[in-house]
Structure 1
Amino acid sequence: MEGRTVPTLVKDEELIKKRRNQMIKSAVSLFKQKGFHRTTTREIAQTAGFSIGTLYEYIRQKEDILYLVVDSIYEQFCSRMEEAVSQGGNSGERLHNGIRAYFKLIDDMQDEMLVMYQESKSLNKDSLQYVLKKELLLTSIFEQLITDCVDENICHLSKEEIHAFAHNILVLGQMWAFRRWALHSLYTIEEYTELQMKLMNVREKIPI
């Protein structure tokens, strides 16, 4: 899926990747503390360890950094999810593994998740549409896993149920980040994952 191009004055692709990764890390920390609108590009550059002039060699405006942050998060999610579900086993095992991998990713990237959902509204229309398509791409990974289970006669679900099931998985994973202030004192991520799978009747619907 092609995203928009963020302008840069630098030709070295490796250096672009390095500097932008530094910006992303810095921006996530600052956006979490202060929000997108209250964070300045000078603060992002300072936290990243270079000058404001250097920062503007790699981006055009502050919104570009937010776009890079959100795009990077989705890229990591989709890449790591595709890797997790490509492991062997039948479709039921792949779905179970995919749910566990997704919830663990949420746990690993809680700060990024919060920034993404709190601040993505500040993106321009085209950038927002792009990241929303990435969200649907992530949902489609689970839709395909569930569809594979249906095709192999491991379970029997309608198309409408498959869509709802996939969205439920995403939202329940995201809840670990959004309500961590309440959940972390009650469960480990492993306990939370197994509990949610039980509440979704995953094992009953799709036994392995």
Structure 2
Amino acid sequence: MKEKNTQFRIKQIESKIKNPKRISLRRKQIIKGAIDVFTVKGFNSATTREIALAAGITEGTLFNYVRSKEDIIYIVYEYITQILRKDMEKAIAGITDPQERLKAALLQNMKTIDVYQDIIMFMYKESHSLDKESLYTVLAREAGYIEMFEELLTAYFGEKKMDPVKIKLAADLLSYIPVIVTFRRWSLKRRFDSMDAVISGILDFILHGIEFAVDMPSL
């Protein structure tokens, strides 16, 4: 699946260092450090010095690769968004049956959210901290991710007549229902034997529920 173009210009984070491999390596360190600090202290209370320390670099080195704390929260969002997308693409690679592709995508989506639940919770809580340009780019990435589910749903239903509005809504729901794994995790862990059972149950619920997208006569 190719990421579709959006109306938003993708934000570029400036770096004083010009070596792409070195930029990628250092930013991964910064992202890891930022996740550790942000999930404990939140965005506003965290300092770039604390993030640099958690990343194993000096604050001066950090500012060779980003300009501000706002840049850091943006690259964290970009990192998690790409992980969600790449994990799902890997999960469905080689699967030709449309129904199995959708199941595999949904299952992997929930598993990835479960693994990165702390930072995903942080992302939802701190999205207001993004500057306007960063927010536009994040929304563009999000739209592309939802479009992947639209494509999977369209293939899933095949020759059935579908309501296009319901397909779009179903794609949104498929993208975000799994986040319950994060938002309700303490209650779910307390009330169910395992998160595998929870994920399996949510998957069954979704697969039964998406039939509403088939264009059936109104009652």
TM-score (normalised: structure 1):
0.90
- Matched with 1:46 is 53
Residue 85 in structure 1 maps to residue 88 in structure 2: no
**Pick aligned residue for 1:163 from 160, 168, 186:** 168
Residue 6 in structure 1 maps to residue 13 in structure 2: yes
Count of residues in correspondence between the two structures:
204
Please state how far the C-alpha of 1:133 moved relative to its aligned partner.
Answer: 1.5
Q: Which stretches of structure 1, 4 residues or more, deviate above 6 A after TM superposition? A: none
Structure 1, unpaired ranges of 5+: none
Structure 2, unpaired ranges of 5+: 213-219
- Matched with 1:94 is 101
- Give me the identity figure in percent: 32
- Matched with 2:183 is 178
Alpha carbons of 1:204 and 1:116: their partners in 2 closer, same or farther (altered >3 Å)?
Answer: closer
Deviations 1:141-168 (A, max 9, x none): 1111010122x23x55311221222222
- Matched with 1:198 is 204
For the 8 Å contact 2:32–2:55, the answer to whether it is kept is: yes
Please state how far the C-alpha of 1:204 moved relative to its aligned partner.
Answer: 8.6
Please state how far the C-alpha of 1:34 moved relative to its aligned partner.
Answer: 0.8
Which segment drifts farther, 171-180 or 30-39? 171-180
Deviations 1:69-95 (A, max 9, x none): 001111111122122223323111111
* C-alpha distance in structure 2 between counterparts of 1:168 and 1:59, whole Å: 34
- Matched with 1:36 is 43
Deviations 1:92-129 (A, max 9, x none): 11111111111111111112211221112111111101
* C-alpha distance in structure 1 between counterparts of 2:82 and 2:207, whole Å: 29
* C-alpha distance in structure 2 between counterparts of 1:137 and 1:164, whole Å: 14
Alpha carbons of 1:137 and 1:123: their partners in 2 closer, same or farther (altered >3 Å)?
Answer: same
Alpha carbons of 1:187 and 1:132: their partners in 2 closer, same or farther (altered >3 Å)?
Answer: farther
TM-score (normalised: structure 2):
0.86
Alpha carbons of 1:199 and 1:115: their partners in 2 closer, same or farther (altered >3 Å)?
Answer: same
